Amino acid sequence: ETVVARSRNWPIPVYQRKWQSDDNYERQVRFLMENYTWLRPAFGSHNLRSLAHAVAWGRQLKVPSGAYEIQMLYGMGAEQAQLFSELGHRVRIYTPFGELIPGMAYLVRRLLENTSNDSFLRASFAENVSIEELLMKPALRAVTRAVTQPPPEPEAPSEKFLNEPNTDFSLEHNRQAMQEAIDTVSDELGIEIPLIIGGKRFDTKQTIVSRNPSRRKQIVGKSASATPEHVAQAVVAARSAFRKWSRTETQFRAEYIELAAARMRERRFELAAWEVFECGKPWAEADADVSEAIDFCMYYAAQIRRLSIPRQCDIPGEENSYFYRPRGVVAVIAPWNFPLAILTGMTVAALATGNTVVLKPAEQSPVIASMLVKILEEVGIPDGVVNFLPGVGEEIGPELIGSPDVDLIAFTGSQAVGLGINERAAKTDLRQDTVKRVIAEMGGKNAIIVDDDANLDEAVQGVLTSAFGYSGQKCSACSRAIVLEAAYDEFVKRLVNATRSLAIGVAEEPGTFVGPVIDEEAQTRIHEYIELGKTEGRLALACDPGELAQTGYFVGPHIFVDVPPEARIAQHEIFGPVLVVIKARDFSHALEIANGTKYALTGGVYSRSPGNLKRARAEFEVGNLYLNRGITGALVERQPFGGFKMSGIGSKAGGPDYLRQFVIPVNITENTLRRGFAPPEDKST
Ligand code: NAD
């Protein structure tokens, strides 16, 4: 619990001092005894104070002695058990039996407990602590002991970047807040979104209708749809805002972005709720996307402060200063699957580094994109610095990419579109005076290798969440499980059963794990791949979304087994809840299969063999490799994200090199040897 909470930046939910849990035990004892008419209290402990306390409450509350029992482990505390029995209490002696391995784990736990510094048994048998102290109230005993034990070191406040914690939906008040946001947003559906160019709003004849993928008849919003003329105007606006914005102090630019993060934090449930409606993201996924957007803001703001300090390399008589200038106008072209985070990341990276932006969101998520633009306006980013151009990629993309005044294209999306953009941007136009730079984060066909000695409980869980979280519509999703022969049958059996238990439902429902896919086009494409899969492998599981498919774009999880590595369903990015399972002879073969695609984005290995994990580190060709855990959910700074081969060109998002792509390095050298006196400056002019 402690490790998991720390890794999520959540408060630690369990007691960290033994006396606190002893104290809590006593509170629970009282609760049980007070309710003995409904419950049958049983007290399993070798701590005599806890047991004596239970007996005392029993007497106080007049609980008949047959209404509760004391339990002790066979072979331990036999004398105490005898004593309680002689005093007329019901005593149950218990002993574990069954399989050896879980039994060993149990015994190890007992050993750790009984020998721990705070153990009652250790204190009474090994340390001969006085009976008075042993029987003290836990809180009092803690105070007495504290005199002899140094207090724990307080944790030093850290300067480190801390990821924005995701919401803990196990807490009622968080569930309520999210439900309220969903109710509020559901009343606001149908909003209209204009283009924003140079701070002015424009409606267009043609519009883009954004629908709730869980209920296709429900319209989330209607956005204007930019034309090539709007693109030209937006680029002019961005160019004219560039002069001032690029000269705005770095400190101020960073503060604008931090203010935007603060707004997102305040409105996190509302933003997540819009994602639930517009992109069919289940609660936890939508919430995590908002956290990531906040992280991008905070991280890039911190990075630009560091990056803006010039590097000096001086020698006597010469000063050398190395620093960065912004590039100019950045076209940000974003996908819908992380509708706030990716858009925010690319946009604030451009802004932090002093560039101005023409922002084109995906056709499927203009409403959430408009929320980001509104936040950037609210914090006071000047007009023209961010120009908002929702529109159809094929219609306005060429104009935007080809514009002679666009200096950099920051794109995240599919491989086909990314390669097209790269090609077009490479064509120089006579009006152009810079060579365009392209950052293109593209798709993946990510694999998890399951070794023959892997912990299958963990491997099944990791593959399942990586393959079917957000219906497999993450660029990092696992779409191939490569399993070694010896573990294959058992793994497949467990995976299929576990997948069958996933809750499919509308994204607004908190219990939904598998929501809809984004739109009809995606649904049709995924169904086509499923049909193809039936000819290329064996369909081991096809979950039926039932009636949901009548009202929303639902596709249930599908698992194909015995798939040849070169099959199309094992090579193409399907971007849906379709997983192929491939059998490998040995670990070398598994690596060969894993690397046998054009992509290199994410990958994972479940293994207990240090040798195989070491090989994976060296030979698995992916940008983000995860060992013995799921392969999605990269966090800013902790796991900078991005791939290579056909998965992307560019440095990792949320990593230390990302911002450098948005700047031009410049070096200035000054000869500082004095050659006579400089004439005094004429102060009169
Ligand atoms: P997409 O390529 O269809 O669209 C992405 C963006 O490009 C959209 O804004 C779209 O309007 C625009 N676009 C489309 N045609 C264009 C053109 N001719 N010129 C200019 N722009 C054009 O991708 P998508 O469906 O929105 O997103 C899913 C894809 O994104 C998947 O392939 C996924 O793997 C990938 N992805 C990659 C990463 C990563 O970090 N590597 C992250 C998220 C998504």
Residue 54 corresponds to which tokens in the numbers above? 């239970």
For residue 302, how far is its CA from the centre of ligand 1 (angstroms)? Answer: 28
Distance CA 609, CA 604 (A): 14
Name the least confident of 43-52, 140-149, 213-222, 430-439. 140-149
Residue in 475, 478, 508, 543 annotated catalytic = 475
Residue 256 corresponds to which tokens in the numbers above? 């604008």
Going by C-alpha positions, the residue among 568, 570, 572, 608 that lies closest to residue 482 is: 570
Q: Provide the residue count of the chain.
A: 685
For residue 403, how far is its CA from the centre of ligand 1 (angstroms)? Answer: 20
What is the overall mean pLDDT for the chain?
95
168-201: string of b/e by CB count within 10 Å (b at 16+)? beeeeeeeebbeebbeebeeebebebebbbbeee
Q: Which of 336, 399, 414 to mutate to test the pocket of ligand 1 (most atoms within 8 A of CB)?
A: 414
Q: What is the pLDDT of residues 439-490, one digit of tens each?
A: 999 999 999 999 999 999 999 999 999 999 999 999 999 999 999 999 999 9
For residue 519, how far is its CA from the centre of ligand 1 (angstroms)? Answer: 14
Active site residue 292: no
Going by C-alpha positions, the residue among 448, 449, 505 that lies closest to residue 477 is: 448
Taking the CA of residue 417 as reference, the ligand 1 atom at the shortest distance is: 2
Atom 34 of ligand 1, residue of closest alpha carbon: 443
The model's confidence at residue 221, banded by pLDDT at 50, 70 and 90, is: very high
Q: What is the pLDDT of residues 555-577, one digit of tens each?
A: 999 999 999 999 999 999 999 99
Taking the CA of residue 601 as reference, the ligand 1 atom at the shortest distance is: 41
For residue 417, how far is its CA from the centre of ligand 1 (angstroms)? Answer: 6
Residue 572 corresponds to which tokens in the numbers above? 């193409």
Q: Which of 412, 438, 476, 639 to mutate to test the pocket of ligand 1 (most atoms within 8 A of CB)?
A: 412
Atom 11 of ligand 1, residue of closest alpha carbon: 393
Does 175 score more than 70 pLDDT?
yes
pTM metric for this prediction:
0.91
What pLDDT sits at residue 462? 98
Atom 15 of ligand 1, residue of closest alpha carbon: 393
For residue 392, how far is its CA from the centre of ligand 1 (angstroms)? Answer: 12
Ligand 1 contacts (CB < 6 A) are 333-338, 342, 360, 362-363, 393-394, 397, 401, 412-414, 417, 420-421, 441-444, 475, 573, 575, 601, 642-643, 647-648
For residue 335, how far is its CA from the centre of ligand 1 (angstroms)? Answer: 5
Cα 112 to chain centroid, rounded: 34
Active site residue 1: no
Atom 16 of ligand 1, residue of closest alpha carbon: 393
Distance CA 413, CA 397 (A): 13
Mean pLDDT of 513-534: 98
567 backbone dihedrals φ, ψ, rounded to 5°: -60, 155
Taking the CA of residue 392 as reference, the ligand 1 atom at the shortest distance is: 11
Taking the CA of residue 364 as reference, the ligand 1 atom at the shortest distance is: 26
Atom 42 of ligand 1, residue of closest alpha carbon: 475
What pLDDT sits at residue 249? 97
Name the least confident of 9-13, 73-77, 459-463, 504-508. 73-77
Q: Which of 388, 389, 400, 442 to mutate to test the pocket of ligand 1 (most atoms within 8 A of CB)?
A: 442
Distance CA 401, CA 404 (A): 8
Tokens 């803690």 — which residue? 142
For residue 373, how far is its CA from the centre of ligand 1 (angstroms)? Answer: 20
Question: Which residues share a beta bridge with 667?
Answer: 322
Going by C-alpha positions, the residue among 469, 455, 499 that lies closest to residue 613 is: 455
Taking the CA of residue 647 as reference, the ligand 1 atom at the shortest distance is: 41
For residue 416, how far is its CA from the centre of ligand 1 (angstroms)? Answer: 9
Residue 356 corresponds to which tokens in the numbers above? 């101005």
What pLDDT sits at residue 256? 98
Q: Which of 292, 409, 417 to mutate to test the pocket of ligand 1 (most atoms within 8 A of CB)?
A: 417
| SS3 of residue 326 by DSSP | strand
Q: What is the pLDDT of residues 616-668, one digit of tens each?
A: 999 999 999 999 999 999 999 999 999 999 999 989 999 999 999 999 999 99
For residue 412, how far is its CA from the centre of ligand 1 (angstroms)? Answer: 5
Name the least confident of 45-59, 152-166, 428-442. 152-166
What pLDDT sits at residue 113? 82
| SS3 of residue 99 by DSSP | coil
Taking the CA of residue 333 as reference, the ligand 1 atom at the shortest distance is: 9
- pLDDT above 70 covers a percentage of the chain that reads 97
Atom 14 of ligand 1, residue of closest alpha carbon: 393
One-letter-per-residue 3-state SS of 535-564: HHCEEEEECCCCCHHHHCCCCCCEEEECCC
Q: Which of 208, 281, 337, 446 to mutate to test the pocket of ligand 1 (most atoms within 8 A of CB)?
A: 337
Atom 18 of ligand 1, residue of closest alpha carbon: 394
Distance CA 180, CA 267 (A): 12
Tokens 């970047």 — which residue? 161
Mean pLDDT of 589-604: 98
For residue 386, how far is its CA from the centre of ligand 1 (angstroms)? Answer: 20
What pLDDT sits at residue 102? 82
Atom 19 of ligand 1, residue of closest alpha carbon: 397
Taking the CA of residue 522 as reference, the ligand 1 atom at the shortest distance is: 25
Does 154 score more than 70 pLDDT?
no
Q: What is the pLDDT of residues 275-330, one digit of tens each?
A: 999 999 999 999 999 999 999 999 999 999 999 999 999 999 999 999 999 999 99
Taking the CA of residue 336 as reference, the ligand 1 atom at the shortest distance is: 26
For residue 323, how far is its CA from the centre of ligand 1 (angstroms)? Answer: 33
Residue in 278, 441, 573, 637 annotated catalytic = 441
Mean pLDDT of 663-679: 86
